[in-house]
Amino acid sequence: MSGTDIAFFLLALAAIAGGVTMLQLTNVVHMVIALVMTFFGIAGLYVLLSAEFVAVVQVLIYSGAITIIMLFAIMLTRHHTDQRERQTTGGVWHKAVAALSVIAFGLAVYFGIRQLDFGADGSALSGDNAKAIGKSLYSYYTIPFEIVSVILLVALIGAIVLAKKDGKGAEDE
């Protein structure tokens, strides 16, 4: 077993463990931390696939921006946790079934693909992926890139307008 295989299994384990942990937790902030662990595991898998640009985007966009947006949404909403209202995710049996399900799925995937032949490497990657992506993005895809940025800006303004309307209604009550 090579170092790449060991790194793959450790990063995949981190990603899966983060996802399963997120489902088992009850505190929303702890769920976000488990989700960040999943995002970093996936970013590590992208690095193993020689997709450094996608790995950096994964860390910056998902682990950074999306997580911060989730935390702000949690802090800005009325989130009251009483001990009486506290939801549980099940007991020991629920967690044992979840763990056994993850292990069974991992074993099924392992035994399903270990004898699989993917063939020769079809295409050689360029030495500088980010440079190639930047050239194609800002030469061939400039107009679609700008259209997407305008759509995102309109969505941001719409979210602010909707939040302002909700804020005014909450003050009147």
In angstroms, rounded to a whole number, what is the distance separating the alpha carbons of residues 77 and 22?
20
pLDDT of residue 57: 87
Q: How far apart are the first and last CA of the chain?
A: 64
What dihedral angle (degrees, nearest 10) is formed by the CA atoms of 37, 41, 42, 43?
A: 100
Polymer length of the chain: 173
Residue 154: predicted pLDDT: 92
- Amino acid 151: pLDDT: 93
Q: What is the pLDDT of residue 150?
A: 92
Distance CA 163, CA 155 (A): 12
Which pLDDT score is estimated for 124?
62
Quote the CA–CA distance of 42 and 11 in Å, as a whole number: 7
3-state SS of the chain: helix, strand, coil percent to 5?
Answer: 75, 0, 25
Q: Could you list the pLDDT tens digit for every one of the 173 residues in the chain?
A: 788 888 988 999 999 989 888 888 877 778 888 888 998 999 999 999 888 888 888 888 887 787 777 777 777 776 555 554 455 566 788 878 888 988 898 888 888 877 777 666 656 666 777 788 888 888 888 898 889 889 989 988 888 888 777 655 555 54
- Tokens 């910056």, residue located: 60
Residue 119 DSSP one-character state: -
Alpha-carbon gap, residue 111 to 119, rounded angstroms? 18
